[in-house]
Structures are given as structure tokens and as C-alpha cells.
Amino acid sequence: LAKTTQPISMDSYEGQEVNITCSHNNIATNDYITWYQQFPSQGPRFIIQGYKTKVTNEVASLFIPADRKSSTLSLPRVSLSDTAVYYCLVGSNQAGTALIFGKGTTLSVSS
């Protein structure tokens, strides 16, 4: 499975846009890029998934360049409740395949 590298931590203020970039230089052709959010003492929660170009949903956008060696999670207008750990994962999205977690990025949002 492709290894991912993301910043250990980021700080932001309420109302700002936050962009978290993840590097995955060894991504395979069939790999998808998925981002999860985790609050303390809770299981991870799916945010967004993409294969290439741009994906947008009600909570975030995911930007993937043509070479797919990196991706950027964009959180518009963050609030205090967005303080969490964000994980970038790369791998197959088939049912029998486990997700392998990297270290994640701890996002701290202040008022």
C-alpha cells in the first residue's frame, strides 16, 4: 500500500479555509485517495474520496493533480468543531481491503 506523508499539525482560526496536503508518491493505478476525520475517543469518520481531479461534497473538497502523487483536502470556513485529526489514506476501495493509517494531521481551530 502506498505510504502517505502529511503535516503533523496545523493551526487555524474560525472562518478560515484550511488546506491539508498529503504526499503519496508511490500511489498505484487502482488506488483511491480517502480522507477521514477522527475526534478523541471516537472512530474515524469518512470525509471524502477521490481518484483524480476534484471532488466536492457538502463538507470538503479534494484536489488531486494529474500525477496523483499528492492530494489536498480543503475545509472551507472551519469552526471550533473541526478540531480533530485528519487522516489521508491511499489504497484499494474494495470491500476486502483494509485501510492502513498514517500519522494524520492534528488540526486545531481557535476562536
Q: Pick the binder of other proteins from 20, 35, 44, 75 (CB under 8 A).
A: 44
Compute the Cα dihedral for 93, 97, 102, 105 and give only its sign: positive
99 is a site residue for other proteins (CB under 8 A): yes
Counting residues that bind other proteins (by CB under 8 A) gives 22
Stretch that binds other proteins, among 7-15, 16-24, 56-64, 94-102 (CB under 8 A): 94-102
Residue 95 vs residues 3, 44, 48: alpha-carbon distances, Å: 20, 17, 17
Residues in the chain: 111
34 is a site residue for other proteins (CB under 8 A): yes
Is residue 62 helix, strand or coil? Answer: strand
110 is a site residue for other proteins (CB under 8 A): no
55 is a site residue for other proteins (CB under 8 A): no
Q: Is 101 exposed, middle or buried (0-12, 13-18, 19+ CB in 10 A)?
A: middle
103 is a site residue for other proteins (CB under 8 A): yes
Residue (of 69, 73, 38, 40) closest to 59 by Cα position: 73
Stretch that binds other proteins, among 11-19, 21-29, 38-46, 65-73 (CB under 8 A): 38-46
Residues near other proteins (CB under 8 A): 34, 36, 41-46, 49, 87, 93-104
